[in-house]
Amino acid sequence: MGKKAKGSRKGKKAWRANIGTDDIEDFFEKSTKDALSGGSLAAVPSDSLFFVDKSSDLSVKRKIEKHREKVLRSDSVLQRNAFVQPVPSSTKKKSNTKRKESQIPKEHSEDGPEGENVSDSGMVDIWDDEGQQDTKKKKISKPSLIPAVEVEQPGCSFNPSFESHQDSLAHAVADEMQKVYQNELGPQPVPLTVTGEAVDEEDMYFIEADDGSDDDQNGKEPCENEDTAQEKRSSKIKRVTRVELNRRARSKKLLRAEAEAKRVEALSKEIDCLPDIIQEIAKEDEEKHKRHQRRIVAKQDRLKSRPPRLGKHKFEPAPVQVLLSEEITGSLRKLKGCSTLARDRYKSLQKRGLLVPTAKKSRVAFHMGFKASSIDPIEFVRGKRRSHIMRTIASQLTYLCRRKPGNVRSRNFSSYNGKDERSLEEDAERKVGWLLKLIFAGTATAVAYQFFPYLGDNLLQQSVSLLHVKDPLFKRMGASRLARFAIDDERRMKIVEMGGAQELINMLGAAKDDRTQKEALKALAALSHSEEAVGALHHAGAISVVKSTPDSTECAEIEKYKVNLLKRFQDLRYDIPS
């Protein structure tokens, strides 16, 4: 390297210009190195650099203790060697090492356990083993809103009260009727095959002939139509004059001006109606918020009643295990047991979302030529009752068919002829006919035994109990039945005594649609044919409820029923508030 060029030494300005800055650069370089390495050693206090070892010296152990501390060869083989790494799994789960900064709180990153290994200068121990293991976050399942053990309604008890039992029966009937209505009103499946009529060979010949002639005629007609259209088109072509073009331009300009004037007028109207528009937007936002809240509440209610969709099949709840009126004995000793505990637990697991619902598979068995499917306990009890009735009828039939032995001619004698054989066949046919008639009568008796309890007063009570259900569909069903049953004064008074009149008034007051109002007014009009029933309706406050019922522009029958009811109250001299 050459020598450094010397500067001029003529004056003090030259001296100041040629002063060296090497010491300053060395100082800056040294301070930078100290800052990167954790600080200057001269600034570090002595306590952090040196310490006094005050620990006592270890006592020399005796030779016997050392021998006792030695591990046997067999035990050392079984001990785990810290230097031998375990065999890694071939299917190691991939851990998501890249985490978002928003998921890691700042306080945890600064004050957590990882912050202890990081010094103030930002130095990290590269030999630290922390962070090498898989730290995949476990997925925590949300607790189910459905309890593990659900308590049934009070009406499902072995000795329920009359009201709770009727409510449970009404719910069971409502569930069954809902299934029936879904099957009836649901979409019909597309048939796999469509039956058609067989076509004879002669008809096929005529059909083919007709198709051919139609094609020929259709082929000829377009050509003729095209020729005539061409002639007409050529004859109708006219030359557009300048006057016609100017008239068209003026009309287009006038239409554009009218459209622009309409647009400006509509815009001015919208500006004038700006407060109303803002109010409508606020109402729409409020309705959207209410709909959102209703959806949230409805979703919570659905989660309380049924589980989320886990598989292909939906969850089907078990039917309500409610006893019939004739099966209530009031005693546990006389109660017929039903082994439904396993099914109840299985349905509970499905309802809580712990098991995936599957399709209902029936157990197939063949016995005496009949096919048996899965048996419900209540249906099993009913079937046993029917079989008991049929056995009783069969025993009575055997007793009736017995005949005292008369002078029966022996077949061993040669005097036996064909007339005796025909008489025996006729006698056998007559017995078989009586047997079939008695079997039919027994079957009809068993069926009537099952369905007669739902007729008469019990059917009226069932119709009144449908009015207690919250669903307006079943309320309309109950009101329609009461309107059909109220054909004489005796039945009308029975409906009033059962509380049907009060329930109809409550139904009319809480009705939110025209159909529910119409059915309630129709049932009240049917009850108003009895003077005593009209008095009961007056005491129940029917006049004010009927007067407050809004008129409907879509259903004219509501106004007709209202007028008839109010006229009936006026005829019987009941005060009608104005």
**Do residues 394 and 347 share a domain?**
no
Query: Does position 367 have pLDDT exceeding 80, yes or no?
Result: no
Residue 561 lies in a domain: yes
Residue 462 lies in a domain: yes
Count CB neighbours of 524 within 10 A: 29
Total number of domains constituting the chain: 4
Mean pLDDT of the region 244-265: 93
One domain, residues 445 and 354: no
Reported as a single tens digit per residue, the pLDDT across 416-473 is 455 555 666 677 677 767 777 777 777 766 655 454 444 456 677 778 888 887 778 8
564 and 460 fall within a common domain: yes
pLDDT above 50 (res 252): yes
Number of other CB atoms surrounding residue 166 within 10 Å? 18
When pLDDT is averaged across residues 316-342 and rounded to a whole number, the result is 80
Residue 38 belongs to some domain of the structure = no
Domain residues for the domain of 317 are 311-327+339-358
Residues 352 and 445 grouped into a single domain: no
486 with 496, same domain? yes
Residue 19 lies in a domain: no
Q: What is the model's pLDDT at position 466?
A: 81
Q: What is the CATH number of the domain that holds 468?
A: 1.25.10.10
**Over the stretch 80-119, which tens digit does the pLDDT of each residue have?**
777 777 777 666 555 555 555 555 554 444 444 444 445 5
Looking at per-residue pLDDT, the higher value among 276 and 308 belongs to 276
Question: How confident is residue 414, by pLDDT bands cut at 50, 70 and 90?
Answer: very low
Mean pLDDT of 47-73: 75
* Of 151-165, 361-375, 505-519, the least confident: 361-375
The string of pLDDT tens digits covering residues 1-49 is 455 555 555 666 666 666 778 888 898 998 888 888 877 777 788 887 7
Q: Is residue 444 located within the same domain as residue 462? A: no
Closest CA relative to residue 467, chosen from 183, 166, 182, 157: 166
Whether 548 is covered by a domain: the verdict is yes
234 has a pLDDT exceeding 90: no
The answer as to whether 506 is a domain residue is yes
Do 450 and 540 fall within a single domain?
no
**Conformation bin of residue 39: beta by default, left when phi > 0, alpha when psi is -120 to 50:** left
Distance CA 173, CA 462 (A): 9
- Asked if residue 550 and residue 477 are part of one domain, the reply reads yes
d(CA 350, CA 306): 9
> Comparing 27-36, 94-103, 167-176, 248-257, which segment has the lowest mean pLDDT?
94-103
Same domain, 434 and 533: no
Domain presence at residue 101: no
Chain segment 518-549, per-residue pLDDT in tens: 888 888 888 888 888 888 888 888 888 888 88
Q: Are residues 493 and 559 in the same domain?
A: yes
Buried b (16+ CB within 10 A) or exposed e, 93-103: eeeeeeeeeee
Over residues 237-243, the mean pLDDT reads: 82
Q: Is residue 438 part of a domain?
A: yes
Q: What is the mean pLDDT of residues 334-355?
A: 82
